[in-house]
Amino acid sequence: MRIGARLVDQGMNGTSVGHVSHSKVGYINRIIKKKRCTRRISRHRALPFSMALQDLFLACRDIFKGPGTVPPTEDVQRLCHILDKMRPEDVGLSQDLQFFKSKSTTKGTPRVTNTNIYKCDNFSLCIFFLPTGGVIPLHNHPGMTVFSKLLLGSMHIKSYDWVEPSHESNGSTTSSELRLGQVKADTVFTAPCNSSVLYPTTGGNIHAFTAITPCAILDVLGPPYSQEDGRDCSYYRDTPYTTNAALNDDLIRTMEDGERYSWLEEIDVPENSQMDSIEYLGPRVIETGRH
Ligand SMILES: [Fe+2]
């Protein structure tokens, strides 16, 4: 991503996973390591395993068919059902970790951290850690279906879908780079809560996260971001829609009464989209042979 793919790629290449530059995020890493260490010391038990995570992995492998495909409704429901039941412990997390207890905000822009559980051409599983005040700025998911499950914390989500047809304004008050987005969510989510789904053109494909408390979000992306395949991440600035903007008639007819709209303008990669990456040390998925 710039939000996802790059970090995920780093994870797959093993080039930077585990390097942590932010002290608070590093604390997460230490805590997770300590937890594993304790388990090892306490006895030679089997490696941590989560049936829920394994179920999720196997379902993803079954459901995601690659670029250009969107899972049918029954498969979306199957994945949601698995995700809805998942707990922080299924990916090695706990409310008791110091990161999630912290109430203070850090100086400057709080950095977001990500960790990669699994990635293949058809889908990826990753977790984002947002400290209080941390932001994943407004970004899109081109051609992707994305499941998000807030595992811990409280988070504000704002999301948009493009208003179609994608007419540009024809007046002098707006630039041709502006496109109209319809607000799909503008809500605070608090864990435990059900998962949410976005699709290539519906469900709030363009979204932003702002952490109200320290958060962990499990994301399932199908397919993952890929610059080579034309699924790079774009970022946007939103400006509330004003009725005095000149619009062509087709667009006015498309807009629905009672809905909220904003102008979305693509922007350069924002500074607060930069993330740290840490190694995933929770329960592993097991790549069993296909049936
Ligand atoms: Fe996203």
pLDDT tens by residue, 243-290: 655 566 666 666 767 788 999 999 999 988 999 999 999 999 999 876
Question: Confidence class of residue 182 from pLDDT cuts 50, 70 and 90?
Answer: very high
Asked if residue 283 belongs to a domain, the reply is no
pLDDT attached to residue 46 = 53
For residue 239, what is the domain's CATH number?
Answer: 2.60.120.10
Segment 159-163 mean pLDDT: 96
Q: Give 71 or 170, the one with higher predicted confidence.
A: 71
C-alpha R_g of the chain: 20
Tokens in use for 220? 């399932």
Tokens in use for 118? 């699994």
User: How close is the Cα of 88 to the center of ligand 1, in Å?
Assistant: 19
Tokens in use for 121? 């051409």
- The answer on pLDDT for 34 being more than 50 is no
Asked if residue 282 belongs to a domain, the reply is no
Asked if residue 287 belongs to a domain, the reply is no
Sort strands 275-277 and 112-119 into parallel, antiparallel or unpaired: parallel
Tokens in use for 119? 């990635």
Residue 9 backbone class (left: φ over 0; alpha: ψ -120 to 50; beta: rest): alpha
Looking at residue 226, what DSSP letter applies? B
Asked if residue 18 belongs to a domain, the reply is yes
User: How close is the Cα of 207 to the center of ligand 1, in Å?
Assistant: 6
- In the chain, % of residues over pLDDT 90: 66
- State which residues form the domain around 146: 5-277
pTM of the entire predicted model: 0.81
User: How close is the Cα of 291 to the center of ligand 1, in Å?
Assistant: 32
Question: Confidence class of residue 164 from pLDDT cuts 50, 70 and 90?
Answer: confident
pLDDT one-digit tens code per residue, 35-87: 444 444 334 455 688 999 999 999 999 999 999 999 999 999 999 999 999 99
User: How close is the Cα of 232 to the center of ligand 1, in Å?
Assistant: 12
User: How close is the Cα of 206 to the center of ligand 1, in Å?
Assistant: 7
Task: Report the number of distinct structural domains present in the chain.
Answer: 1
Q: Which helix (H) or strand (E) holds 149?
A: strand 145-152
Asked if residue 291 belongs to a domain, the reply is no
User: How close is the Cα of 218 to the center of ligand 1, in Å?
Assistant: 11
User: How close is the Cα of 47 to the center of ligand 1, in Å?
Assistant: 31
User: How close is the Cα of 249 to the center of ligand 1, in Å?
Assistant: 32
pLDDT attached to residue 244 = 54
The length of the chain is 291
Rounded distance between C-alpha atoms, residue 131 and residue 100, angstroms: 8
Q: Which residues pair with 240 in a beta bridge?
A: 262
Question: Confidence class of residue 24 from pLDDT cuts 50, 70 and 90?
Answer: very low
* 8 A C-beta contact, residue 165 and residue 251: yes
User: How close is the Cα of 18 to the center of ligand 1, in Å?
Assistant: 22
Output the average pLDDT for the chain.
82
pLDDT attached to residue 66 = 96
User: How close is the Cα of 7 to the center of ligand 1, in Å?
Assistant: 13
Asked if residue 213 belongs to a domain, the reply is yes
Tokens in use for 66? 């690659």
Tokens in use for 80? 């949601």
Query: Rounded to 5 degrees, what are φ and ψ at 31?
Result: -60, -45
Shortest CA distance to 223 belongs to which of 189, 199, 241, 247? Answer: 199
Asked if residue 286 belongs to a domain, the reply is no
User: How close is the Cα of 172 to the center of ligand 1, in Å?
Assistant: 32
User: How close is the Cα of 230 to the center of ligand 1, in Å?
Assistant: 16
User: How close is the Cα of 274 to the center of ligand 1, in Å?
Assistant: 14
User: How close is the Cα of 95 to the center of ligand 1, in Å?
Assistant: 23
User: How close is the Cα of 148 to the center of ligand 1, in Å?
Assistant: 8
User: How close is the Cα of 139 to the center of ligand 1, in Å?
Assistant: 6
